[in-house]
Structure formats: structure tokens, C-alpha cells
Structure 1
Amino acid sequence: MLQAIHNKLDELYPEMVDIRRYLHQYPEVSFQETKTAQYIADYYEKLGIPYEKSIGGNGVIATLTGGKPGKTVALRADFDALPIQDEKDVPYKSKMDGVMHACGHDGHTASLLTLAKTMKGFQDELPGTILFLHQHAEEYAPGGAKPIIESGALDDADAVFGTHLWATTPLGVLQTSKDVFMAGPDRFDITVQGQGGHGGYPHETKDAITIGSQLVSQLQQIVSRRLDPLKTAVISIGQFEAGDAFNVIADKAKLVGTVRYLDKDVQDQVMKEMEKIIKGICVANDATYTFNYEKGYPPLVNHAEEAELVLKASENVQAIHTAEEVKPVMAGEDFAYYTIEKPGAYFFTGAQKEGNPYPHHHPMFDIDERAIPTAAKTLIAAYFEYQKQ
């Protein structure tokens, strides 16, 4: 039956592309994906597959109960976009100013929708129940996964699997981990309050730019000099805002950045070290400060048995020539909440487009659309492997 399912998915490839390109032209950012959610619901309405809307926000879950007994498994695809201007010169370029599918979630949605259409035709032979889990707001904490879980919609699920079309991994390559797979992404902002003044009289001021620059430099010492060398973290400053004129010493500076970690003990240590450094530098410069640290998603930790199932399932997908275990990546994913609650695994489906070297969250981001059916085939292959347990 699996081969017949894969053949049907191949037949639906033009529809996958059409869906992906339509969604690419009409993206919606996190927590505002109402039209996308309705598009998904309308698709299931036409298929005659029962579904529920507005789960945990804009989430949509469709339920396909097979004709044979078995386990209930959720297959997840996210569908939110990013506040990025699409700079590609393609027919399916985003028509929404300042909003873009720059992470492949349009492809995830196309993959899961056409998989549902395919499986509807095999319902009588299907063991168990598939929950087609369409999740909103992956890109922005607190995210969509946690409220979906809290809604109780996945209480009956035995396991959950998901994939990400990964634009920096070659087509035909599957990557996963049997342990920590993706980092916990936190956010912080620091505001330094100094005392401004004339650019020619710096000795009469408390230069917020100088103080902020010291912070940028010294915060990097946490990773290189305070953490155990066998553990890791990332501290990146993404914004540094200060000053209004060339001849005025700035009285205020704002720094915004992210911390990435794989171990909660490291997260705790980084937070404490940051507080000490910020306080010490500001006190030394007779300045005041505010420091806000927002914890994001936890690290994504795969279950070893389910990750092994994914690797085994990939052997049944002709388009995959390499399936490998990889080291953790420092990007974050709120799929982490699912594997805290349920057995499950997340994996990357290689989607690198020839001639397009741009990474996720880039204005020129794009994927090789041939990866979309590969993702669907692997998800359903993992589903069947799990039913054998």
C-alpha cells in the first residue's frame, strides 16, 4: 500500500506546487493567519474529512480514521510567514508588502494537505487514525504548539511527527537526531541610560554608545570564558540603537538580541552571567539600565525510538538517497513542546534549490519544490512504521 500511496503523491505533485505558490503569494505573519487557516479548512471541507478550526488560536486539525484498528498519530505542518520583504524575481513572489514565506511553511502546508487528499483514498485500508495537524505561529513565541496542546486536541495522540523543508540541505538528504536536535531560542533587550551632552565635551557625559559597545564585547566572553568548553551557547546582538545626531553624545542605548542553548543549566548560567556583566559595566560607568530576558521555546529533543523509525522509514522513500544523524542546530522550533508531551521526532527534508544559496529568513529564500512530495512520503512512511510497534 505504501508504494501506491507514494505513486498517488507523485500524481499530485502539480497540485502541491499550485498550493505552495498560492500560499507563497498570500502569506500571513504569526497569530494573524486567519485567511490561511480558512484556506486549509476549506480544503478539508471539499475532501469530506472532519476538521476543527481555531484550535489554540488559528490551528486546524483534520482527523482521518482508518478502517482498521491502530494508533493515533499526529503529522504536523506549520503555516505562518515572516515580516520580510520578498525580493525574489519569480511569478509566485509575495503580493503582501513586507510579508514573506521565508522559511518554507507554505511547502509544509502543501505537503500535508495533499497527503490528506491521498490518504482519503486509502481510508478503508488505513490502520489507526491520522491527525493532520496544521499549526499557526511557529515563528514567534509563545508560538502555536503550546496552546494547541493545552486545548486538549492532542490528548488522544500516541505520537507526533513533523518535518521541515531545509533549504541549506541538498535535495534527497534527510537529517535528524536521536536526542537534542534544535536549540532553545530566547530573546533579551537591554536599555542603558547614561547622560547625553555636547560631542565636544564627552567628559561631561555618560556616553551610552560607549557603554553599550562594552556590553556587546563583554557579553561574548560568557561563551568563551564562563561556560564549560564541552557545552555551548550563542549570544548574538541583533539590534543596537542609539543617538540622533553626529555631534551629540547619546544618553540612551538599546540592545536587542538572542540566546541559543541546548541545555537548561546553560540557559540558567547565561542569564546569571549576563546580569552580572550588565550591572558591572553600568555601575562602573555610573549609568543605570533595564534588562529584560524572555524565555522562548525549549530545545527540541527527539525521542530516540521515534527518530530511528524516521530513519528506517526513509529507506522506503526512493527520492531519499542519504539519511543521517546530525549534530544539533542552533535554530529553534516550537515542535519541542510536542515531544515534551508525546513520543515523536522531527526531521529535515533537504530542499536546497540549485542556484539559490540563500538560507531561511532571507529575502531571497526559496526551495526546490521537488522536496514537497518527499516530505509527504517520509511522513506517511513514518506513520506506518509507528503502526508496526
Structure 2
Amino acid sequence: MGAPPHSKVRQDIRELNPRVIEARREFHQHPELSWEEHDTQVRILRRLSAIPGLEDVRPIARTGATALVRGNGEPCVVWRADIDALPVPEKSGLPFASQNPGVMHACGHDAHIAIALGIAELLAADPSALPGSVRFVFQPAEESCGGAEACIADGVLDVPHVARALGLHISADLAIGSVNVAPGPFFAAPTTFTLELSGLGGHAAAPHQAVDSVVVAAHLVTALQTVVSRSIAPMETVVLTVGKLEAGYRGNVIAESATLSGTIRTYTDAMRDLTIRRVEEIAAGVCAAFGASFTLAHDTTCPPLVNDDHVTSIVRAEAEAFFGAGHVVAAPSMGAEDMSVFLEARPGCYFWLGARNEAREIAGRHHDAAFAIDEDALALGV
């Protein structure tokens, strides 16, 4: 049996929508940080266990959960939803605001949970209509990274064998009723770096007797701006940002040391390696010029997210049929997302679902204390 027509799906979603909104609000009130999603896990498992037709409902990856809708035939698709929150004190003013001080679902993962639960309930109501099975994965620790690997290590792609991977991210930047999806690199690989500079401290009135780490750091920050503009080919996409600089402890003391830390975003290993090499070479040159020394540490926490061409073409066609071609855009992001780990293991597609509604003054920003979404987007996600 083929998939039901869009009109039937829309009607089923309308009936389901109040429960999806209620679920989102429950999880929004009870956010938990990466690897601390114990209560979240319990709530997800309780809801999954209450859905008739779901199989293999169980905890995974320490604080995650999984369930299976078993349809007809061999193909199996995984639908992944991340579940962790952020260390952000909520200032949204919502009546269902966070009850966990200092922690907030400020990136929409509460919506991801609710949408996945809604899809599971919708599909489990008539599994015979499915030409294959759907494995639902509620993944912990996306914000810190590591959760995707833990889920895969627990075998979520193995029994039944998963052939494709799908998921979405709610967007406070994209208008409601819109989808952003594109083949190829869609999210970047995040690389953090730290430069420790060592000079020679001294009295501020005798700078000739010291090696001023503040001056070295200032020159280095400026010099690093040339990495992207002068060392990277114009057709490549790379971001290098120094986001933190620490040095000194008194205004009349020349700082002996300084620390610079930042992030690099790239779509390929080659560009990452080139950028890191240039950071090291520039740091060596600047430090040599001033008589300082340095150490460089860097870490790439997850690979770039690359959407499969074929699967993405199917997702885009469905989005255009549902939302209209004028509401589907293709705009890759330099953000990072460890759904990339699933998409390294299986071909698939990850996309943005719009939830911004300026007409209703719902226009928050991700990772912001006032983050908000239009809940009408939840039904569209289902």
C-alpha cells in the first residue's frame, strides 16, 4: 500500500496537533543539559509506551530513548530527534517557561521531541500503510556532541537494518510554512582552537624589559583575519572567529601570558587542515617577531553534515508538494549539528523547518534567553 494522500495526512495531523503542542510544553518546562536528560528520558519513554503499535520501546545511550514502527517490507528509515537543552536562564515570559533554573530549551529540541512523538503516533496508528519500518531515536547530548555516536553504538541502525536517516531542526530564523533543504554540505564541521601565548611579565613603566603578551595577542587576532581572506580560495567556505581573549590581572603590570580561543567552521577536512596549518604558521611568525612563544590545541567535535543527493531530492519534492515550491529554499549553514554522524553512517537528509512569525511577534534567536517559536509549526513538522 502506498502513502496516504496529503489531504488524509493533514486531517490526521489536525487531530493529533493538541497532543503535540502539549508534549512540547511539557518538555519545555523540564529542560536538562547534555548527558543529564534523565527526567527527559523517563518522560519520553512514558509517552512512547502509551502509543499503541510501537515496538522496541527502550532506553539507549545513557539518557536517550528509541522505538520502532514496524511496517511492511524490508526498508527501514531512522528518524532522529535531539533532546538536550542549554545553560541559558529563560526570559521568554511564556506561561510554560523552564522550571529548571539556568537551563532552557533555547534551540528548539523540545519541539523536536514533540514532533518525533507526533510522527510516531501517526505512523503507529496504521503501520500496514508503511512500505517499510521507522526507527525513532531520541538522542541525548547534541549540544556537547557525543550523543549520536552513543546511539549508534547501541545498535539503533542495525536491527532492523536502517537504510536511510532523516531529521529536522526547527528554525526561529525561517518563516513558518517554509523549509530550507539542500543536497551536499548543509552544516559545517566545528573545530575549537586555543592559543596559549607566553611572553615575559614586567612593570608597565618598563616595557623594554618585558615581552608584552597583550600586544602579541592583539597583533595575532588581527593577523588571523587574513587566513580566510588571503589563504582560502574564494569559492571555498570557511569561518574563523576568535571569540575569547584573556590576559593580565592589573593595569600597571605587563601580562606574562595570554590566551586566545575561537572556532573554525569548514565543510571539508582539507579546508579544516589548511586553516589550522595557517593559524599555526601565523602564530609562529607573530610570536617570533615579538620574542614570545605559543602552544596550539584544537579539536573537531563532529564532521560536516552532508545531505545525500537522492534522499534530499525526495524530501525537497515532498516539501514543495506540501508547502509550495515558493516556500522551499536551499541555504546551507555554517552552524554545526551532530546529525552528521548519522549521515556519515547512512545516506539521508536533514532540513530546517520554519517557525518564525513576525506578524505574531514570534521572532526569537537560537541560543537566546528569549528564544520562541510559533507552535503552529509543530503540526507542519509532523
Tell me the secondary structure at the aligned position of residue 47 of structure 1: coil
More displaced 10-residue stretch of structure 1: 303-312 or 189-198 = 189-198
Instruction: Indicate the residue corresponding to 1:241 in structure 2.
Output: 246
Matches within 5 A, 1:288-299: 288-299=293-304
The match for 2:12 is 8
Report the identity percentage.
34
Structure 2 counterparts to residues 169-184 of structure 1, below 5 A: 169-184=174-189
Mapped partners of 2:99, 2:40: distance in 1: 14
Aligned partner of 1:310 in structure 2 is 315
Deviations 1:46-101 (A, max 9, x none): 224233544233221101112x3252111111111111221222212222222111
SS in 2 for 1:367: coil
1:371 maps to a residue whose letter is: A
RMSD: 1.8
The answer for the alignment partner of 2:119 in structure 1 is 115
Question: Does structure 2 retain, via aligned residues, the 8 Å contact 1:311–1:323?
Answer: no
1:157 Cα deviation after fit: 0.5
TM-score normalized with structure 2 length? 0.92
Is the 8 Å Cα contact of residues 5 and 119 (structure 1) preserved in structure 2? no
Cα deviation, residue 124, structure 1: 3.4
Cα distance, 1:199 vs structure 2: 2.3
CA shift for structure 1 position 323: 4.3
Which position in structure 2 is the counterpart of 1:266?
271
Query: Match for 2:87 among 83, 89, 108?
Result: 83
Provide the C-alpha distance between the structure 1 equivalents of 2:49 and 2:35, rounded to a whole number of angstroms: 23
Cα displacement (A) at 1:197: 2.3
Residue number in structure 2 paired with 1:374: 380
Q: How far off is 1:358 after superposition? A: 3.1
Instruction: Show structure 1 runs of 5+ residues with no match.
Output: 377-389
Report how many aligned residue pairs link the two structures: 373
What residue number does 1:222 align with? 227
**Conserved? CA contact 2:37–2:64, under 8 Å:** no
- Distance in 2, matches of 1:185 and 1:223, equals 16
Output the CA distance in 1 between the equivalents of 2:56 and 2:349: 24
Instruction: Tell me whether 300-309 or 48-57 shows the greater mean CA deviation.
Output: 48-57
> Amino acid of the residue matched to residue 148 of structure 2?
A
- Distance in 2, matches of 1:15 and 1:322, equals 30
Tell me if the contact between 2:106 and 2:366 (Cα under 8 Å) persists in the aligned partners.
yes
Among residues 39, 42, 56, which one is paired with 1:35 in the alignment? Answer: 39
Name the SS of the counterpart of 2:132 in structure 1: strand
Q: Which runs of 5+ in 2 are unaligned?
A: none
C-alpha offsets along residues 104-147 of structure 1, whole Å, 9 cap, x if unaligned? 11001001112212222112333311111111111113x21122
Further displaced range: 89-98 or 260-269: 89-98
* Structure 1 residue matching 2:73: 3-state secondary structure: strand
**One-letter identity of the residue aligned with 2:222:** S
Q: 2:214 aligns with which of 196, 209, 232?
A: 209
SS where residue 94 of structure 1 aligns? coil
Q: What does 1:157-168 correspond to in 2, within 5 Å?
A: 157-168=162-173
Partner Cα distance (1:217, 1:373) in 2: 47
Equivalent residue letter for 1:74: V
Q: How far apart, CA to CA, are the structure 1 residues paired with 2:257 and 2:357? A: 44
**Deviation per residue, 1:256-310 (Å, 9 max, x gap):** 1100011221111001111111122222222222211001211111111100111
* Amino acid paired to 1:367: I
Amino acid of the structure 1 residue aligned with 2:364: Y
Conserved 8 A contact 1:190-1:255: yes
1:148 pairs, out of 148, 151, 155, with: 151
Per-residue displacement from partner, 1:209-245 (whole Å, max 9, x unpaired)? 1111112111111000111111121011111122222
User: Which one-letter code corresponds to 1:99 in the other structure?
Assistant: V
